Amino acid sequence: DTHSNLSAATAPVALSYELFPPRSPKAAETLWTTIRELEATDPDYVSVTYGASGSNRDTAVDLINRLLLETTLRPLAHLTCVGNTPAELADIIAELLDHGVRGILALRGDLPQDGTLPPSGSLRYAQDLIELVRHVEQRRTALLCAGKIAVGVAAYPAKHPESPSVEHDVEVLLAKQRSGADFAITQVFFQAHEYSNLVSRARRAGVTIPIIPGVMPFTSLRRLKRLGELAGVDPSAHLMERLAAADTEAEQRRIGVAATVDLANAALDSGAPGIHLYTFNEHAHALDVLDKLALPRPARPTFRAQPVSPTPEPVRH
Ligand code: FAD
């Protein structure tokens, strides 16, 4: 009815970004420009990815610590079963919580491409990692007054590559909810109905946690092509053709941003409680998308650790 449509249109929508730990000092420099630009939009959190090989553990933890100490941003730390023993993972979780992290995205991680299996004794499924996070959390009595840690998980609008069916994916999502997941973020998708169908299937199966669409700015043809290999998600052929046919880079960017905004708006129209933007550590395209989306965001003061300028800065929305 009109009333619920109205309230849906004006209800505040959560906003978050994904970053990955920089792979070089030069990459770190540009990442910090990006971080400051994104910070000005006052997101609910920024997520920091974790290499399934465990190899970027230190750069991930360093980035999270700097976000906590030097910015107003709330980091959501990704962690993977793959790449660390359960004991190492318990240590990392405890360290993150002690440093002030209050959100963890519990993932299995991508299995090595060469087919080698994780060592025996490794956690097998994201569900096992959720249980480990909850276990470590309960033992940190200092956290009792800080409230529960938010645990997020992955969800798949198109079938997970290793899964027999989308129905199985939803059973897995339900199992993750039962183990203590508070919310889910989706893998990249290209058709709005893939997201709304996932939400419908999940609700029918008893999943009640928010499912936040993960949205990638469709501005790089190269990146779109790589997605198929990495995530097993095939980009829409129509979009690929339109991007390839663009005469200039500016035109390609305009087409990509418009397609991304359409997809995000369709997800919001179907009731998405937020938008999670995959930034690839670049702010320009993510902010282009955000400008055109005009999300209803809660009005709240932005606190800064140290005032940087005496005059108020314009807030980008
Ligand atoms: P799971 O939920 O454990 O599922 C893995 C497979 O096992 C699925 O096929 C599932 O159907 C099956 N399964 C799960 N539980 C059971 C069960 N109890 N019984 C039978 N079958 C089961 N990867 C990284 O390496 N680092 C990152 O930082 C990272 N960030 C991501 C962020 C998001 C938002 C998303 C969507 C993905 C991310 N990934 C990341 C990729 C992710 O690790 C892969 O998609 C991985 O293949 C699956 O992870 P999962 O957490 O969904 O695993």
Give the mean model confidence (pLDDT) for residues 271-300: 93
Distance CA 260, CA 254 (A): 10
More confident of the two residues 56 and 269? 269
**Distance (Å) from CA 51 to ligand 1 centroid:** 13
User: From residue 196, how far is each of 217, 221, 295 by CA, in Å?
Assistant: 19, 25, 19
* pLDDT tens by residue, 132-168: 999 999 888 666 666 689 999 999 999 999 999 999 9
Tell which atom from ligand 1 comes closest to the C-alpha of 168: 11
Note the pLDDT of residue 6. 45
* pLDDT tens by residue, 79-94: 999 989 999 999 999 9
> 277-307: string of b/e by CB count within 10 Å (b at 16+)?
bbbbbbbebbbbbbeebebebeeeeeeeeee
Tell which atom from ligand 1 comes closest to the C-alpha of 163: 9
* pLDDT greater than 50 at residue 206: yes
Quick one: CA torsion of 219, 109, 151, 218, rounded to 10 degrees? 10
Note the pLDDT of residue 1. 38
* pLDDT tens by residue, 123-135: 999 999 999 999 9
Distance CA 3, CA 48 (A): 38
Task: Answer whether 4's CB lies under 8 Å from 48's CB.
Answer: no
**Distance (Å) from CA 126 to ligand 1 centroid:** 6
Nearest CA to ligand 1 atom 28: 49
The label of the residue with tokens 């005009």 reads: 294
* pLDDT greater than 90 at residue 9: no
Q: Name residue 37's amino acid.
A: E
**Distance (Å) from CA 302 to ligand 1 centroid:** 34
Which of 21-25, 143-147, 178-182, 208-212 shows the lowest mean pLDDT across its residues? 143-147
Tell which atom from ligand 1 comes closest to the C-alpha of 185: 34
pTM, to two decimals: 0.91
Cα dihedral sign for 256, 257, 263, 264? positive
Long-range contacts of 266-271 (CB under 8 A, 24+ apart): 266/192, 266/195, 266/196, 267/192, 267/195, 267/196, 267/213, 267/215, 268/13, 268/293, 268/295, 270/192, 270/195, 270/196, 270/199, 271/8, 271/196, 271/199
* pLDDT greater than 60 at residue 12: yes
The label of the residue with tokens 């990495």 reads: 230
End-to-end CA distance of the chain: 29
* pLDDT greater than 90 at residue 52: no
Bridge partners of 78? 105
* pLDDT greater than 50 at residue 62: yes
Nearest CA to ligand 1 atom 2: 126
Note the pLDDT of residue 276. 98
Give residues (CB < 6 A) around ligand 1: 49-50, 52, 78, 80, 107-110, 125-127, 154, 160, 162-163, 168-169, 172, 175, 185, 187, 214
Tokens (6 digits) for 73: 């941003």
Query: Which residues does the annotation mark as catalytic?
Result: 18
Note the pLDDT of residue 225. 86
**pLDDT mean across residues, the chain:** 89
Give the mean model confidence (pLDDT) for residues 263-275: 97
Note the pLDDT of residue 314. 56
* pLDDT tens by residue, 215-228: 999 998 888 888 77
Note the pLDDT of residue 3. 41
Distance CA 200, CA 192 (A): 13
**Distance (Å) from CA 41 to ligand 1 centroid:** 29
Nearest CA to ligand 1 atom 53: 108
